Amino acid sequence: MFHKAHWLFTLLCVGSTSAIMILMSLLYLRVSENSLYDSQFYSFQKDVNTIATNLEETSTLSMQWLARMEAQNDYSIFIIDNGVPFLYNSLRDGMHSHSKALLAESLDAYISLFADAPVANINTYSNIWHTEYAFRSPTEQSHYYCSRIDIGKNNTSTQIMILCSLTVLRAQIIRQRILFLGIISITIVLLSVFSWLFTGRLLKPLQENYESQMQFIGAASHELRTPLSVILASSECCESATAEEQKSFFQTIRKEGRRMNALINDMLTLAHTGTNRFLIECAPAQLDTLCLNAYEAFEPLCQKKQVLLSLQLPEDSIPRCKCDSARIAQTLSILLHNAVSYTPDGGQISLSLAWDHKEGVFEITVTDTGIGISDADKKHIFERFYRAEKSRSAKGHFGLGLSIAYEIVSAHHGKISAEDNPAGGSIFTVKLPMT
């Protein structure tokens, strides 16, 4: 599921960004190409103006001058005198057939473009006028800017056709397009790699969350199955049992029902953590009173198990701690319950409270002389449903207590940790800030 989502997000990311990038590039190319064509056209017009001015000033056409103009600007200049191509062209290239065709095409283009339209750039003070236009040669398959200069003198007419080839410009434009295509392709590849990594990172916490939820559901179902199967088996046996046996079966059903109830409560607490349904209602509370209450609650159990439970409270009065007293009491209960469960008969448990006024932190410790926790287990004991191998058989222990304690302490911006008791056993420390 996450693999598919990963692909989808990557495609979405790359697709949308690439579409915007391609659109912007096309827009840029269009503007840039138009401006290249425009600037070429303006410089061509400027040259034509210079030629026209020159023609106005000199009464004769200098072939050297025309040849220089052609060579300098890569133009093709044709002179038509009274409808006959002038000697200049004949001398230059013997009027190759392709030049003839080009000239004819440019004249045809002129006629088709301006037959009905007024002629542009007419110099009213002289009899020289010129018109610039663009045309495409069908035979050469190439584009040109063209200018037709008309000179009218003594009932004779001379036309000068100047053709500016756009081949170089178009090659430059094609090079620019290829460059853009390359840049866009490389960018899309980089973008794909980046998007893949980025969406992967984005989805990782979601995937982890989903997997841990699946694990939670799996472990919860597993834990619920045992008491449920006992309840089902007991109720089936009840049908054919004597009144005495039925009493015992009912007791088992009730006991397993209570186990299920406790487990479901724990699961609900954990399910609500991290959501706005896990509310802690903080109010100033006396932690020494909470510790005393916890001590009193566990004393009978310890006595029964012949475990010595002691309580150490600060001698001086301590400030009140802004906390959810019910949740802190629940944490103490979890720690003491574990201490009692994992401490063999004759062991010792001590509950102590200290106030570090420099740091502004309350420190609650539960020390026992029990079975202790290996370093490998210490890394996992705050995880949901984690139980060290040696405590797996402990009844009524689902591996949820410490994860609930962890969530409660974290919700109070505090810290909970476990370490070895030098005298054997474990020490659990809860640090809570004053507010």
Judged by the rule CB under 6 A, the positions of this chain that interact with ligand ADP are: 334, 338-339, 342, 368, 370-373, 381, 386-388, 391, 397-403, 426
CB of 13 closer than 8 Å to CB of 199: yes
- Indicate the residue among 122 and 371 with the shorter CB distance to ligand ADP: 371
Q: Which residue is nearest to ligand ADP (CB)?
A: 401
Please state the closest distance from residue 299 (CB atom) to ligand ADP, in A. 17
Please state the closest distance from residue 328 (CB atom) to ligand ADP, in A. 16
Joined tokens for residue 407: 């969530």
DSSP-assigned letters across all residues of 129-142: EEEEEEEEETTTTE
- Indicate the residue among 372 and 414 with the shorter CB distance to ligand ADP: 372
Element (H, E) at 324: none
- Indicate the residue among 105 and 223 with the shorter CB distance to ligand ADP: 223
- Indicate the residue among 126 and 221 with the shorter CB distance to ligand ADP: 221
- Indicate the residue among 55 and 366 with the shorter CB distance to ligand ADP: 366
Read off the DSSP letter of residue 211: H
**Cα 100 from Cα 78, distance rounded (Å):** 9
Q: Would you tell me how many other CB atoms lie within 10 Å of the CB of residue 282?
A: 15
**Cα 301 from Cα 368, distance rounded (Å):** 15
Please state the closest distance from residue 217 (CB atom) to ligand ADP, in A. 18
CB of 145 closer than 8 Å to CB of 40: yes
Q: DSSP alpha helices (H): ranges in 155-286?
A: 167-240, 243-272
Name the one residue in this structure whose structure tokens are 């220089």: 68
Please state the closest distance from residue 349 (CB atom) to ligand ADP, in A. 9
**Cα 53 from Cα 106, distance rounded (Å):** 23
Please state the closest distance from residue 417 (CB atom) to ligand ADP, in A. 12
**Cα 45 from Cα 28, distance rounded (Å):** 25
- Indicate the residue among 51 and 388 with the shorter CB distance to ligand ADP: 388
**Cα 334 from Cα 329, distance rounded (Å):** 9
Name the one residue in this structure whose structure tokens are 């797996």: 392
b or e along 333-342 (b: 16 or more beta carbons within 10 Å of the residue's beta carbon)?
bbbbbbbbbb
Sign of the C-alpha dihedral, residues 253, 258, 263, 264? positive
- Indicate the residue among 175 and 225 with the shorter CB distance to ligand ADP: 225
Please state the closest distance from residue 392 (CB atom) to ligand ADP, in A. 7
Nearest to 28 by CA among 148, 166, 177: 177
- Indicate the residue among 131 and 421 with the shorter CB distance to ligand ADP: 421
**Cα 165 from Cα 73, distance rounded (Å):** 10
Please state the closest distance from residue 348 (CB atom) to ligand ADP, in A. 12
Name the one residue in this structure whose structure tokens are 């003198």: 153
Please state the closest distance from residue 383 (CB atom) to ligand ADP, in A. 8
Please state the closest distance from residue 229 (CB atom) to ligand ADP, in A. 20
- Indicate the residue among 66 and 405 with the shorter CB distance to ligand ADP: 405
